[in-house]
């Protein structure tokens, strides 16, 4: 089987390709805007927003396509970038797959399609994206639904919660860095629960779907158990070997500070680590579960606590 990993030079893609390297029955090619640092000889340079470029670079002998490419940072400007990359890019991919007769696809969407949730949400949850990113992922799923209805064999959608791990520089890394610095500021009461996913487990699940996926499938991906912010803070300090010590401020003060930095960002054209959307994400409950993963029989190889410990060890204990 030959697999095309679009966005394979990134955080999840690199982990996935490292796993695929050990499977004799699977060969992979990476297609990305930048060359893979780990697999430069297996990388084709391409921008999925450019249909002609995509069609020209797309290999002819592909059995399955995995799309990991996305615009996902919180404060992208202009916001139309989410649609351009996530929706138009997926339309281009589907058009090329249709032309080349490729009938198997795995798509990494996001739990952002559900928006803010007040209780544990499963794959049958209602769609209420609060941000352009979540809306773009939902729209991309609809593009793939039409492609699948044209006669495809596998349409697997993975909606990961926030993904963390060694080498990532996203929101979880920023949180861990603040805790490791000893200058962590807890906003709110810390009782809100956060579902997370360790990158190695996400890569293992994609590998599982490459070998076992079939038909139309939708999965929330989350590693259990879900820590609340107080428990997460204690878990990270345990991995650091430190005594917990933090300052707390009420939610409304944190949100006010976020809006102030948003206002400042507009005039300075600089991105700040604090923003209103990040405060809302920090203090919101983002708790998800998956009925379908349990039915599929997948078991994550690494516990979320072990993933946190490995990340802290690699990033903050050297």
Q: Which of 82, 114, 133, 198 is catalytic?
A: 133
pTM score, whole prediction: 0.90
* pLDDT of the residue at 218: 98
Query: How confident is the model over 75-98, as a mean pLDDT?
Result: 94
Q: Count CB-CB contacts under 10 A for residue 22.
A: 8
pLDDT in tens, 39-68: 999 999 999 999 999 999 999 999 999 999
Give the orientation angle of helix 199-212 with respect to helix 11-20, to 10 degrees: 50
Parallel, antiparallel or unpaired: strands 223-228 and 193-198 = antiparallel
Give the orientation angle of helix 304-316 with respect to helix 199-212, to 10 degrees: 130
Q: Is 148 among the catalytic positions?
A: no
Chain mean pLDDT for the chain: 94
pLDDT in tens, 203-222: 999 999 999 999 999 999 99
Confidence tier at 318 by pLDDT (50, 70, 90):
low
Q: Which of 4-18, 177-191, 242-256 has the highest mean pLDDT?
A: 4-18
Q: Which two tokens stand for residue 126?
A: 């209602």
Question: Is residue 170 within 8 Å of 273, Cβ to Cβ?
Answer: no
* pLDDT of the residue at 67: 98
* pLDDT of the residue at 243: 86
Query: How confident is the model over 79-106, as a mean pLDDT?
Result: 97
Q: Helix, strand or coil for residue 163?
A: strand
d(CA 229, CA 111): 19
**Per-residue pLDDT at 240 exceeds 80:** yes
* pLDDT of the residue at 4: 98
Query: How confident is the model over 264-272, as a mean pLDDT?
Result: 86
Instruction: From 21, 16, 39, select the one nearest 204 (Cα to Cα).
Output: 16
pLDDT in tens, 1-40: 999 999 999 999 999 999 999 999 999 999 999 999 999 9
* pLDDT of the residue at 10: 96
């Amino acid at each position: 089987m030959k697999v095309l990993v679009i966005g394979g030079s990134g955080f999840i893609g690199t982990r996935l390709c490292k796993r695929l390297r050990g499977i004799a029955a699977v060969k992979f090619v990476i297609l990305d805007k930048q060359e893979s640092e780990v697999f430069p000889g297996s990388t084709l340079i391409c921008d999925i927003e450019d249909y002609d470029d995509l069609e020209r670079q797309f290999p002819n002998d592909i059995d399955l396509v995995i799309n990991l490419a996305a615009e996902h940072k919180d404060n992208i400007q202009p916001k139309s970038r989410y649609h351009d990359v996530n929706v138009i890019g997926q339309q281009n991919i589907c058009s090329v797959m249709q032309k080349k007769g490729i009938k198997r696809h795995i798509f990494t969407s996001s739990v952002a399609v559900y928006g803010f949730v007040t209780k544990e949400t499963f794959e049958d949850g209602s769609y209420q994206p609060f941000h352009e990113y979540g809306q773009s992922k939902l729209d991309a799923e609809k593009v793939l639904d039409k492609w699948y209805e044209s006669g495809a064999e596998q349409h697997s959608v993975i909606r990961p919660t926030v993904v963390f791990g060694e080498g990532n520089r996203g929101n979880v890394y920023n949180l861990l860095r603040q805790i490791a610095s000893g200058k962590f500021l807890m906003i709110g009461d810390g009782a809100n629960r956060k579902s997370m996913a360790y990158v190695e487990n996400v890569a293992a699940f994609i590998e599982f779907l490459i070998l076992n996926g079939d038909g139309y499938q939708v999965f929330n991906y989350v590693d259990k158990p879900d820590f609340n912010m107080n428990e997460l803070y204690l878990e990270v300090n345990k991995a650091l070997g430190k005594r917990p010590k933090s300052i707390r401020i009420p939610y409304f003060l944190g949100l006010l500070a976020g809006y102030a930095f948003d206002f400042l960002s507009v005039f300075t054209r600089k991105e700040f680590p604090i923003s209103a959307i990040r405060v809302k994400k920090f203090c919101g409950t983002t708790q998800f579960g998956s009925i379908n993963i349990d039915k599929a029989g997948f078991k994550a190889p690494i516990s979320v606590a072990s993933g946190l410990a490995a990340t802290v060890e690699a990033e903050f204990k050297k």
